[in-house]
Amino acid sequence: MTEQRKLYPAYDAYQTGYLDTGDGHQVYWELCGNPKGKPAVFIHGGPGGGIANYHRQLFDPERYHIMLFDQRGCGRSKPHASLENNTTWHLIEDLERLRNFMGVDKWLVFGGSWGSTLSLAYAEKHPNSVSELVLRGIFLLRPQELHWYYQEGASRFFPEKWERTLSILSKEERKDVIAAYNKRLTSEDLQVQLEAARLWSLWEGETVTLLPSANSLSFVEEHFALAFARIENHYFINNGFMDETQQLLDHIDVIRHIPAVIIHGRYDMACQIQNAWDLAKAWPEAELHIVEGAGHSFDEAGILHQLIKATDKFVGK
């Protein structure tokens, strides 16, 4: 049996700072690893999730030079939980600014969940900036995907957790959960925002792993939940600011020449396996790994194994 790959040992960033976007945001970034190594950028999920120290450990620090950053409004970026000038296209501009700041022509782009969405959108907008793609827990922002997770679908597998999510909504509001939560998450009353934010965030925290995880409790921490729920809902009610319902698939030919690995858990309830299958069918050159006995989270054993294999593969290890 092949030994399961695990995270690299913990290591620190050697440089951190803030990118002034010029339109009201300060985007936190950090550089890690070997400045002479292969350039890579880590794109976190959510939207609104932010980076964590262990995300660095997905890359060999001796062989990679890694940029990590908190997307607008979340993590250590400022202002916290801000929705102004916060769209997919703003984030793509931020990525290009960070690449230019790093001083590299191309970099490996690594993204999971919403990070896979933003990675694909960025690569399709700037294909000459991307050397390879590592994509996990594919989310293509199609209407049926949002309907599955926030209306009918995943709720059938977690009825008690979904009932809790609906508990603050009227019968009429339950017909459009994303819109009903949007009213609360943009309320002028901070307590109304917080109540909705914790419920929205806990729904995701408790459904992204195949088996229950103690990490789900971190989703209700006030600072995290407020940014996560407000920003995620803001993107979803606006369909990710995409012009077309299948935009990422319809423009896949632009990036089919880029080496790519697609990794998806068989029992992913947040983002169905069909998403990865549809992407792989449209992109036959990409390498697809369906991980049995896994859900959505990057640190589930089988998914993590494939992620580390992918980053090692592209660095020539």
Give CA 44 to chain center in angstroms: 4
Whether omega before 47 lies within 30 degrees of 0, making that bond cis, reads yes
Query: Two tokens at 86?
Result: 């916060």
Q: Does residue 189 carry a catalytic annotation? A: no
CA dihedral 246, 263, 293, 5 (to 10 degrees): -160
Beta carbons of 121 and 92 less than 8 angstroms apart: yes
Query: Two tokens at 87?
Result: 């769209």
Tokens 């809902």 sit on residue = 233
Q: Does residue 299 carry a catalytic annotation? A: no
Query: Two tokens at 104?
Result: 């590299």
Beta carbons of 78 and 25 less than 8 angstroms apart: yes
Among 77, 82, 113, 129, the active-site one is 113
Among 55, 65, 289, 296, the active-site one is 296
CB neighbour class for 149 (10 Å; exposed up to 12, middle 13-18, buried from 19): buried
Q: Does residue 77 carry a catalytic annotation? A: no
Among 268, 289, 297, 305, the active-site one is 268
Beta carbons of 138 and 121 less than 8 angstroms apart: no
Catalytic residue annotation: 113, 268, 296
